[in-house]
Chains A and B, each alone.
Chain A
Amino acid sequence: QSVLTQPPSVSGAPGQRVTISCTGSSSNIGAGYDVNWYQQLPGTAPKLLIYGNSNRPSGVPDRFSGSKSGTSASLAITGLQAEDEADYYCQSYDSSLSGSGVFGTGTKVTVL
């Protein structure tokens, strides 16, 4: 059972904007731990999309953006494209679990 909760699915038409929430608590996101986001295309390993709440690694399109506030974080995808159809996971750390890492429950993004 994950301590970071995400909606199971979100969908949008090409070109639209979608957001994915990641809800945590005072022992993880609210404790000041950074949030990272990963994209997992079918049959492949996860790929780092956002690190340190809002930073994009080199090569990640600026259509992807991240934010954090209080005990939650969000990933936004603007100008949705067909190739964005994938599973997305947030990740942080948790002081109540001795600082171990935790992943979100995952969100399936469908491009209509």
Chain B
Amino acid sequence: QVQLQESGPGLVKPSETLSLTCTVSGGSIRNYYWSWIRQPPGKGLEWIGYIFDSGSTNYNPSLKSRVTISVETSKNQFSLKLSSVSAADTAVYYCARTPYSTSSHDYWGQGTLVTVSS
């Protein structure tokens, strides 16, 4: 059974960079897209972007200037960096697996709350 687990600081100061890692277990990171999705408290889901195991990426245009998603296949991990954060970036951040064949998000991490505050 594939499992995903997000990790990283739960508190980030304004203007700094948010960094999260997703560790994949129970399956290989190869031959899939891997996505980041976030959900501000009490609000809906927002698609952040995805990466293929080759390193090709696609980002939400509204976040593209601040987002970097990378993959480390040897560790079965992929990561999210979001720069110049503000309070509007406070959210639960989810990582998810995205099969190329369906482009859906079939396995999700439990999510991690990141609060942007000084």
For A55, list chain B residues within 8 Å (CB). 102
Given A34-B102, A52-B102, A100-B60, verify A46-B108 contact (CB < 8 Å). Answer: yes
Determine if A38 and B105 form an interchain contact, defined as CB atoms under 8 angstroms apart.
yes
For A91, list chain B residues within 8 Å (CB). 45, 47, 104-105
Task: From B44, B47, B102, B105, give the contact of A100 (CB < 8 A).
Answer: B47
A46 to B49, CA, bound (A): 17
Q: List 12 A-B contacts (CB under 8 A).
A: A36-B104, A44-B110, A45-B108, A51-B102, A93-B103, A100-B58, A101-B47, A101-B50, A101-B60, A103-B37, A103-B45, A106-B45
Chain A stretch 58-90: residues in CB contact (< 8 A) with chain B: 89
Given A89-B45, A103-B47, A105-B44, verify A51-B60 contact (CB < 8 Å). Answer: no
B61 within 8 A of A: yes
Residue ID in chain A nearest B107 by CB atoms: A48
State the B residues within 8 Å of A (CB): 35, 37, 44-47, 49-50, 58-61, 94, 102-106, 108-111
Chain B nearest CB, measured from A11 CB (Å)? 19
Residue ID in chain B nearest A48 by CB atoms: B106
A52 to B82, CA, bound (A): 30
Task: From A45, A52, A98, A102, give the contact of B104 (CB < 8 A).
Answer: A52
Interface size on A, residues (CB 8 A): 27
Of A33, A51, A99, the most chain B CB neighbours within 10 A belong to A51
For B46, list chain A residues within 8 Å (CB). 103
A106 to B105, CA, bound (A): 16
A112 within 8 A of B: no
For B106, list chain A residues within 8 Å (CB). 48, 51, 57
A33 to B58, CA, bound (A): 16
A2 to B61, CA, bound (A): 13
Determine if A2 and B44 form an interchain contact, defined as CB atoms under 8 angstroms apart.
yes
Residue ID in chain B nearest A46 by CB atoms: B108
In the complex, given contacts A45-B94, A45-B111, A51-B106, what are 9 additional A-B residue pairs having Cβ atoms less than 8 angstroms apart? A34-B104, A36-B104, A45-B109, A45-B110, A100-B61, A101-B47, A103-B44, A106-B44, A106-B45
